[in-house]
């Protein structure tokens, strides 16, 4: 089929999109008019297509859509550039995240320095950007002094973010997340890799400590004196009977 060259400068803003739900669609981010689904997938770090939602159309999604999908369908989605991206999580990754959260929670009982959120704690860390870390710690210095409403998604930046890597996470996706976390003001990021039973601890996108299978997660300035053995963590996760 011949292509009309007069349309080569059309952008997503020029395309009429029919409303797909109650609120009016408004363009949140603009992409080149010649992009394909493959380009969109590359833009999101090469993640599997089944994690990219197309309703609302890419570029038009908002925080309200994140809330709507969670409330009506029980689907957890992050928001990036007006695109809904389903959170990657499996039962094993969920267990690892919960175990880390329990250990940090126990630490906070004797170190009253902030609050902890779990793997469905959506946070607006940047304009038009919602992330859902597997575990996040927010210090009292960053926590609002007045009671937060349950909705909308709070504009809070954690001090610590923990992400347990899943099969459908890609290196490019996690590298992009890392940049956004530190751009927002996160102080410490832990990437936990169940496949290798190792971890990466970041204090900036370029300042990383590799933690071996027999190493320790260390809280540093964010969680002073906190330590957690990776060997214990994975051995406990893999235990199949009472001790």
| pLDDT (tens digit per residue) in 193-220 | 999 999 999 999 999 999 999 999 999 9
Q: What 8-state DSSP symbol labels residue 145? A: S
- The whole-number average pLDDT for the span 129-152 is 93
pLDDT of residue 89: 83
Per-domain residue ranges for the chain? Answer: 5-86, 91-238
Dist. CA 4–CA 72, nearest whole Å: 42
Confidence at residue 149, expressed as pLDDT on a 0 to 100 scale? 84
Instruction: Tell me the CATH number of domain 91-238, given options 3.40.309.10, 3.40.50.150, 3.90.1570.10, 3.40.640.10.
Output: 3.90.1570.10
Please report how many Cα atoms fall inside a 13 Å half-sphere around the Cα of residue 16, on the Cβ side: 1
Reply yes or no on whether the pLDDT at 11 is more than 70: no
Give Cα separations from 65 to 37, 129, 210 (angstroms): 21, 12, 37
CA distances for 9 relative to 15, 26, 31, 34, 114, angstroms: 12, 20, 11, 9, 50
In three-state secondary structure terms, 19 is coil
Peptide bond into 56 cis (omega under 30): yes
Q: Would you state the pLDDT for residue 117? A: 97
pTM equals: 0.88
- The pair phi, psi for residue 122, each rounded to 5°, is -70, 135
| Token output for 92 | 């094993």
Lowest mean pLDDT among 5-14, 114-123, 125-134, 195-204: 5-14
How high does pLDDT run on average in the chain?
Answer: 91
| pLDDT score, position 5 | 39
- Kindly give, in sequence order, each residue whose CB lies less than 8 Å from that of residue 154, ignoring residues fewer than 6 positions away: 123, 124, 144, 148
Could you give the CA distance from residue 19 to residue 152 in angstroms, rounded to a whole number? Answer: 22
Residue pointed to by tokens 């290196």:
171
Across residues 32-41, what is the average pLDDT? 95
End-to-end C-alpha distance for the chain, whole angstroms: 68
The pLDDT, as a whole number, for residue 207 is 98
Average pLDDT over residues 88-94: 93
> What average pLDDT score do residues 218-241 get?
97
Distance from CA of residue 3 to its chain's centroid? 39
| Neighbouring residues of 118: CB distance < 8 A, sequence distance ≥ 6 | 97, 98, 101, 134, 135
151 — pLDDT class (breaks 50, 70, 90): confident
How many Å apart are CA 160 and CA 123, to the nearest integer?
13
Q: What is the pLDDT of residue 83?
A: 97
pLDDT at 20 over 80: no
Given a cut of 70, whether residue 100 has pLDDT beyond it is yes
pLDDT at 23: 60
CA–CA gap between residue 201 and residue 160 (Å, rounded): 10
pLDDT > 90? residue 45: yes
- pLDDT of 150 reads 79
């Amino acid at each position: 089929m011949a292509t009309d060259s007069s349309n080569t400068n059309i952008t997503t803003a020029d395309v009429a999109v029919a409303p797909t739900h109650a609120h009016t669609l408004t363009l949140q981010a603009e992409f080149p008019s010649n992009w394909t689904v493959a380009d969109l997938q590359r833009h999101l770090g090469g993640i599997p297509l089944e994690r990219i939602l197309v309703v609302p159309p890419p570029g038009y999604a908002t925080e309200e859509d994140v809330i709507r999908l969670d409330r009506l369908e029980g689907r957890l989605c992050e928001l990036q550039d007006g695109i809904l991206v389903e959170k990657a999580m499996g039962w094993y990754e969920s267990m690892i995240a919960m175990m880390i959260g329990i250990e940090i929670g126990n630490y906070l009982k004797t170190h009253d320095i902030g609050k902890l959120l779990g793997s469905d704690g959506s946070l607006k860390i940047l304009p038009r950007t919602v992330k859902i870390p597997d575990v996040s710690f927010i210090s009292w210095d960053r926590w609002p002094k007045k009671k937060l409403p349950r909705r909308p998604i709070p504009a809070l930046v954690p001090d610590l973010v923990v992400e347990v890597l899943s099969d459908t996470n890609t290196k490019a996706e996690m590298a992009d997340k890392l940049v956004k976390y530190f751009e927002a003001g996160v102080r410490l990021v832990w990437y936990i890799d169940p496949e290798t039973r190792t971890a990466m601890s970041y204090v900036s996108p370029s300042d990383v400590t590799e933690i071996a299978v027999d190493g320790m997660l260390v809280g540093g300035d964010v969680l002073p004196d906190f330590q957690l053995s990776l060997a214990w963590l994975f051995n406990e996760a893999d235990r199949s009977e009472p001790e």
